[in-house]
Amino acid sequence: MKTLVVEDNRINLKVVCHHLERLGIVPIPAENGTRATELFAAERPDMVLLDVMLPDIDGFEVARRIRQAETPGEWTPILFLTSMTDDAALEKGIAAGGDDYLYKPVSEVVLGAKIRAMQRIIQMRNSLLVLTKKLDNANRELRRLSSLDWLTEIPNRRHFEETLEREWRRSMRQGSEFSVLVCDIDRFKAYNDAFGHPAGDQSLRSVAQALMDAMVRGGDFVARYGGEEFAAILADTPLAGAQVVGERMRTAVEALAIPHPASESGHITASFGIASGIAMPEADPLKLVKLADKALYEAKRQGRNRICAIASMDAMEN
């Protein structure tokens, strides 16, 4: 343990440093406030013993500078060394960032007791910081898990709707166009009936990963919307660009080549609906999803394993 000792009287400085060495503590001596702030920055001591009266700047100002030099979450105990006992001086020291006082001449017994008390506080504080960090990590993990679909491990519907609302507001601010894509695995009930739910779950995971892999831009977002349905938000993407992404996703699902005898192509495919527009204050972003869903049903009606799109602005106003 290192302790910065700031004392302009060399005899007092030597005595306090000797007491500290007997307690197994490494002293870092400084005879003025300027040197003390330099040593604090260089050595980062575990504790500071600080004389109030110094030849250049007083101990109160040194304490303030030490507190300003500490990083967020850092705390170094500061004990003032003083002969003053009036209440105003004590209050001033605490206000400057001090934690306690030692009266001169410094008693080795009292010094040891004060240091042990501060060490206990440091240990308790460090334990609290460790616990706080663990709780923060646990809360972050809980938030992460609450936003993921348990089966496919991609974002869930709740996360999708939160992201949609956020992108909607951003689009209103920037006037940029964005698109929503809805995708449904073709004849999935028949697949489950033929192969069982474990195989169905595995196919959902495979399709989810294929859709994720097809998203090449960092800002694009895909989620499991429910059952065998997925949805994507394509920020800053007009209808033509969304169709390109949709085709890439459709091809990725088809390329999985998962056998599906009840499908028209003999393997698992997916149909896609796309809607695009610019956010307006009077419109509801979920209407964009409903329009994409409407386009999806049209893709199903036309024979599945295809993309249908709606230029949504006029439709959203109706």
Positions marked active-site: 228
SS3 content of the chain, % helix, strand, coil (to 5): 50, 20, 30
* Beta strand pairing call for 270-278 and 307-311: parallel
* Beta strand pairing call for 177-185 and 270-278: antiparallel
Task: Centre a 10 Å sphere on the Cβ of residue 42 and count the other Cβ atoms it contains.
Answer: 9
Task: Centre a 10 Å sphere on the Cβ of residue 76 and count the other Cβ atoms it contains.
Answer: 20
Nearest CA to 201 out of 228, 219, 234 is that of: 228
List C-alpha distances in Å: 4 to 19, 69, 70, 194, 225.
13, 15, 15, 76, 60
The count of C-alpha atoms lying within 13 angstroms of the C-alpha of 140, restricted to the half-sphere facing its C-beta, is 6
What is the rounded distance in angstroms from the CA atom of residue 143 to the CA atom of residue 31? 52
DSSP for residue 259:
B
DSSP secondary structure, 101-164, as one string: EEESSPPHHHHHHHHHHHHHHHHHHHHHHHHHHHHHHHHHHHHHHHTB-TTT-SB-HHHHHHHH
